């Protein structure tokens, strides 16, 4: 049993959102980190970026880029911050985070609570410039709750964050902002992504810099919707897709008393559902664009399953609540061994092998 397993019962006596805020403060002011090791067979060059390993921190933990560099010291290959909106907003009413301990899951209905673009950009610039160590920093962007012209919020955020970000994730799949997921619909998505990529083209010329644009989608899409989105992504030359956000489905044999709470469900119960969408997307896109697998990863075996289902990279969040950040190094070590065991020289050779 590791140290986190010993103290976890004490942490779980604290209300979830309070515990999260305390974790952010701890990471800010108590920089005590484990020894980390990189494995040559986990290195990849993707999206014009050099990833030391494929294990990333998903958006949602460091919403305001307060502790991204300290998070990276736990051995992450990349850290995604946000979701940020142009204006600061408080999000939905509390309580809005629930631990489903029996299911090793989380339900949240936060609603893009964050300090806004100005604060985010300032912190992102500062973090990106602190050290020349090739820290890969993603910026996950969304719209304000009351914005009617959604694309205007995304374009504004691209203007402000294109320069400091390693990549930008377009989040149109959170279930906690009313009507946000409607942007995934066929009649809206093509025009929306066309405007996003036109903005990227302008910013690329302005800064003489290539910043990949990724799209984060929901796990609750029908097969027809997945096919339509994949075609639209390819048509608009989106650089990559993150699969997936949290689910609104509750047909997952949940045991916790909080199972009926509204919001997005993440954690172990999401693994199978997100993997199905991931595998479908890899097939629908013909492996032409990088996919990032998210949802339910709690071990190297889970991460490797996503890679074999088409993910070039993976992201984790909920599992850290149950396992602690030492999980990153355990996954890297075991994943490196799994890659070797299958006779691959590099993890990239395993991408999509279950889809062929």
Active site residues: 174
How far is residue 81 CA from its own chain's centroid?
8
Rounded distance between C-alpha atoms, residue 176 and residue 111, angstroms: 5
Rounded distance between C-alpha atoms, residue 101 and residue 347, angstroms: 32
Rounded distance between C-alpha atoms, residue 218 and residue 115, angstroms: 24
| Cβ pair 41, 336 in contact under 8 A | yes
Dihedrals phi, psi of 158, to nearest 5 degrees: -60, -40
Dihedrals phi, psi of 137, to nearest 5 degrees: -115, 115
The HSE-up count of residue 75 (CA atoms within 13 Å, CB side) is 20
Residues 322-334: b if buried by 16+ CB within 10 A, e if exposed: bbbbbbbbebbee
| Cβ pair 213, 162 in contact under 8 A | no
First to last CA, the chain: 39
Rounded distance between C-alpha atoms, residue 45 and residue 313, angstroms: 11
Rounded distance between C-alpha atoms, residue 253 and residue 137, angstroms: 36
Q: What is the CA radius of gyration of the chain?
A: 19
Query: What does the block give as tokens for 328?
Result: 């990153």
Classify 215 as helix, strand or coil: strand
Strand stretches in 41-178, DSSP E: 44-46, 49-51, 55-57, 78-84, 97-100, 105-108, 137-141, 167-171
- Whats the size of the chain, residue-wise? 356
Which of 193, 189, 166 lies closest to 82, judged by CA? 166
């Amino acid at each position: 049993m590791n140290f986190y397993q010993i103290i976890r019962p004490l942490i779980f006596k604290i209300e979830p959102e309070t515990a999260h805020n305390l974790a952010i403060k701890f990471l800010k002011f108590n920089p005590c980190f484990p020894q980390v090791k990189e494995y040559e067979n986990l290195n990849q060059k993707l999206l014009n970026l050099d990833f030391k390993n494929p294990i990333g921190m998903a958006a949602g933990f460091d919403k305001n880029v307060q502790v991204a560099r300290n998070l990276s010291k736990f051995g992450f290959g990349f850290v995604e911050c946000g979701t940020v909106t142009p204006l600061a907003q408080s999000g939905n009413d509390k309580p809005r985070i629930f631990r489903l301990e029996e299911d090793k899951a989380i339900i949240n209905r936060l609603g893009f609570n964050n300090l806004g673009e100005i604060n985010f950009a300032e912190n992102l610039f500062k973090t990106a410039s602190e050290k020349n160590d090739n820290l890969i920093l993603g910026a996950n962007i969304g719209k304000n709750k009351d914005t009617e012209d959604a694309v205007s919020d995304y374009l504004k955020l691209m203007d402000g964050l294109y320069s400091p970000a390693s990549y930008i994730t377009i989040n149109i799949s959170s279930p906690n902002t009313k009507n946000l997921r409607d942007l995934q619909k066929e009649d809206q998505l093509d025009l929306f992504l066309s405007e996003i990529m036109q903005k990227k083209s302008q910013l690329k010329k302005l800064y003489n810099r290539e910043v990949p644009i990724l799209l984060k989608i929901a796990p609750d899409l029908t097969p027809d919707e997945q096919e339509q989105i994949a075609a639209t992504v390819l048509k608009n030359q989106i650089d990559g897709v993150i699969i997936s956000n949290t689910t609104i489905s509750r047909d997952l044999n949940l045991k916790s008393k909080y199972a009926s709470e509204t919001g997005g469900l993440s954690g172990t119960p999401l693994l199978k559902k997100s993997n199905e969408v991931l595998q479908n997307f890899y097939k629908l896109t013909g492996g032409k664009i990088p996919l990032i697998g998210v949802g339910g990863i709690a071990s190297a075996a889970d991460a490797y399953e996503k890679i074999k289902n088409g993910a070039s990279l993976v992201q984790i969040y909920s599992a850290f609540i149950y396992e602690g950040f030492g999980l990153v190094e355990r996954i890297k070590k075991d994943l490196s061994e799994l890659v070797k065991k299958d006779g691959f020289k590099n993890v990239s050779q395993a991408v999509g092998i279950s889809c062929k």
